Amino acid sequence: MIIVTGGAGFIGSNLVKSLNERGRDDILVVDNLSDGAKFHNLADCDIADYIDKHVFLAEIEAGKEYGAVEAVFHQGACSVTTEWDGTYMLRNNFHYSKALLHWCLDRHIAFLYASSASVYGGGRVFREAREHERPINIYGYSKFLFDQHVRRVIPTAKSQVAGFRYFNVYGPREAHKREMASVAFHFNNQILVDGEVRVFEGTDGLGNGEHRRDFVYVGDVCAVNLWFLDHSDNSGIFNLGTGSSRAYNDIARVVLGWHGRGAIHYIPFPQELSGHYQSFTEADISLLRSAGYEGRFRTVEEGISDYLAWLNSAKGL
């Protein structure tokens, strides 16, 4: 059996679908369906069982067994970067993750989990080393704390522990994220409704629309996760991005070009994000490559074109 926490969410549901494509349906999905619309992400997936995340936590803390578990993909988290309730964020992202990690370690179960590029904060070097890590919001801090805990655990771990610092992931099954969905998702909706895409004006010395992020397609993220499942001798914390940053203007132009219409409209940069916003990210993926992963990452032109075709088809819910 494979357990996927956050399995009805964005990356989690794509992982479930990728496992299905490998012929696996012995999957226990853990999630919180208070937002019932997330069921759409699993409607075309095959799973063995579903359990609420609160029930699951109580059961693993009580030492419950779930049979022969091969691996846990821990994707569940609060990923709202504008959330400032630190008590909630640490309970949900840090303490929950620690409990599940140690449940896996005690049973020699592979533990593959979602970290985040937010741990780097406003820095310019995105390499998996403590001197480059200084989060600028409580979400990033919750991920940073858990990464630090993992670093202390790995040297004595008897089973695989691998964390992936996701950069800006985009692709199918993210509609439920609403305001936290990718810019590609929002730009697509904006052009359909208004005939234009709205891009932030410049800040931090950058020109209009020239904030740069490392945008990575969710299918490529799943490919990396599954490669590590197949190569259980690899543990550590790894950046997961393309290694190349692109401007928001680039994303806008790809969306406009795919639709064959529309224009860019620049809007003021939100004051509430000042000092809490990463204006630039670009993954250093040398550690991922040195682990042996040789897969190719889609360019934004390739990935966003595939995504827009999905979004604007009957599949794009």
Query: 114 lies in a domain?
Result: yes
Is residue 189 located within the same domain as residue 46? no
Is residue 73 located within the same domain as residue 200? no
pLDDT at 278: 81
Query: 317 lies in a domain?
Result: no
Is residue 72 located within the same domain as residue 185? no
Query: 208 lies in a domain?
Result: yes
Residues that are catalytic:
139, 177
Is residue 111 located within the same domain as residue 150? yes
Is residue 54 located within the same domain as residue 75? yes
Is residue 133 located within the same domain as residue 199? no
Longest dimension (CA), the chain: 57
Q: Find, among 165, 177, 211, the residue nearest to 317 by Cα.
A: 177
The predicted model scores a pTM of 0.94
Residue 165 is which amino acid?
A: R
Q: In total, how many domains does the chain have?
A: 2
Is residue 160 located within the same domain as residue 187? no
Query: 316 lies in a domain?
Result: no
Query: 272 lies in a domain?
Result: yes
67 phi, psi to nearest 5 deg = 85, -155
Strand duo 212-213 + 246-247: pairing: antiparallel
Strand duo 246-247 + 110-116: pairing: unpaired
Is residue 166 located within the same domain as residue 180? no
CA separation for the pair 239, 261 (Å, rounded): 35
Query: 93 lies in a domain?
Result: yes
CATH number at residue 183: 3.90.25.10
Query: 33 lies in a domain?
Result: yes
Tell me, what DSSP letter sits at residue 124? Answer: S
Range of the domain at 159: 2-170+215-243+291-297
Is residue 140 located within the same domain as residue 219? yes
Is residue 93 located within the same domain as residue 194? no
Is residue 237 located within the same domain as residue 142? yes
CATH number at residue 68: 3.40.50.720
Query: 109 lies in a domain?
Result: yes
Is residue 185 located within the same domain as residue 234? no
pLDDT tens, the chain, 317 aa long: 999 999 999 999 999 999 999 999 999 999 999 988 899 999 999 999 999 999 999 999 999 999 999 999 999 987 776 788 889 989 999 999 999 999 999 999 999 999 999 999 988 999 999 999 999 999 999 999 999 999 999 999 999 999 999 999 999 999 999 888 999 999 999 999 999 999 999 887 889 999 999 999 999 999 999 999 999 999 999 999 999 999 999 999 999 999 999 999 999 998 877 776 788 999 999 999 999 999 999 999 999 999 999 999 866 54
pLDDT at 224: 98
